[in-house]
Amino acid sequence: MAVLDLFRSTEHVREEHLRILCDSQYVINCITKWMAGWKRKGWRKADGKPVLNVELLKDIDAAIVGRDYSFEWVKGHAGHDLNEAADVRARAVAIAYQSRKPVPAGPGYPGAVATDMDAAPKAKAVKAAEDVIEAAAPVWTNSFLDAEPDLFSVLGEDHTSEDGAVEDDFVPLTTSVRDHIVTLEQELMRPDIRRDASRVAVLLHPDFEEFGVSGRMWNRDAMLGAIGVDTEPNPDMDVLNLDLLDDATALLTYRTTDRRGSALRSSLWRQVGGRWRLRFHQGTPEA
């Protein structure tokens, strides 16, 4: 539905090239590899079974006629700024649907004519929203683009590009990396950053978990859902130690002090796609 809405929203600038960044191999393959063959076979797959999401695909097939476009696959939940920003907004809509609250709407594409995406059955939209909420983590597979993976399948996490070369933004473990991790930890304690969902989403690992000082358990979705809640000013931070457990894992321990007292904290940082992201955090009140 997002891809369809994008084509419809850019209909007024259809002479321009449209570069689409997408983390779903399924969507890319449907449009660029499989759709033409399915259409010739009466919208059936090679095994004779009907194509899934066929009504949406028919709408996309009509919307791309005469358009100049290209797709670029980006790894989901890997720190890509635009991908993380899209994830934050998609989850906000899903949460709003689930809690029956007004759905947040962005400004849309400049100059776009209003599109009617409400034509899809409401039940399907609600189900899609609930699926987003219930997904505790992305579905990692080793499927490649020539296979027909599940909707949200992505390539396994590594630090190499498709041609086997090491990604340029891979950061080796050095003394500067130690300083970098401390800086990232301090960033997560800043009130202005904790009100910025896009930035917090980049800093937190997709499987992030926290045992807070209060005893509450948090995951990434819960943390992003709390964005906008009043936060305490920056606590004082005293770094105790930083251990490099392997080439992509670091354990930071430190003490914080604020008006509520002091706490001992430990954070496990993992390097994913060249970015350090917080995988686990625990805070314990100091006696």
Helix (H, G, I), strand (E, B) or coil at 238: strand
Instruction: Name the strands in the sheet holding 217-219, side by side, starting at the edge strand that comes first in the sequence.
Output: 217-219, 204-211, 275-285, 261-272, 249-258, 236-246
Q: What is the pLDDT of residue 124?
A: 52
Q: What is the pLDDT of residue 38?
A: 92
Whether 110 and 180 share a structural domain: no
Closest residue by Cα to residue 221 from 104, 97, 95: 95
Q: How many residues does the chain have?
A: 287
Instruction: Say which residue the tokens 């005469």 belong to.
Output: 66
Q: What is the pLDDT of residue 172?
A: 45
Distance, CA of 74 to CA of 85 (rounded, Å): 13
Its domain, for residue 181, covers 175-285
Report the DSSP pairing between strands 18-22 and 69-73: parallel
Closest residue by Cα to residue 157 from 169, 135, 170, 141: 141
CATH of the domain at 110: 3.30.420.10
Please, what is the angle between helix 81-98 and helix 122-134, to 10°?
A: 120
Q: What is the pLDDT along the chain (287 residues), one digit of tens a residue?
A: 889 999 999 999 989 999 999 998 889 999 999 999 999 999 998 888 898 889 999 999 999 999 999 999 998 888 888 888 888 888 888 777 777 788 777 777 888 876 555 444 444 544 554 454 444 333 322 322 333 333 333 333 333 333 333 333 344 445 578 888 999 999 999 888 888 887 888 899 989 999 998 889 999 888 887 776 656 778 899 999 999 898 899 999 999 998 889 999 999 999 987 789 999 999 999 97
CATH of the domain at 268: 3.10.450.50
Assess if residue 113 is contained within a domain: yes
Assess if residue 240 is contained within a domain: yes
Whether 58 and 128 share a structural domain: yes
Q: What is the pLDDT of residue 128?
A: 53
Whether the predicted model's global pTM rises above the 0.75 cut: no
Q: What is the pLDDT of residue 85?
A: 85
- pLDDT (tens digit per residue) in 63-115: 999 999 999 999 888 888 888 888 888 888 877 777 778 877 777 788 887 65
- pLDDT (tens digit per residue) in 154-168: 333 333 333 333 333
Assess if residue 50 is contained within a domain: yes
Distance, CA of 117 to CA of 95 (rounded, Å): 19
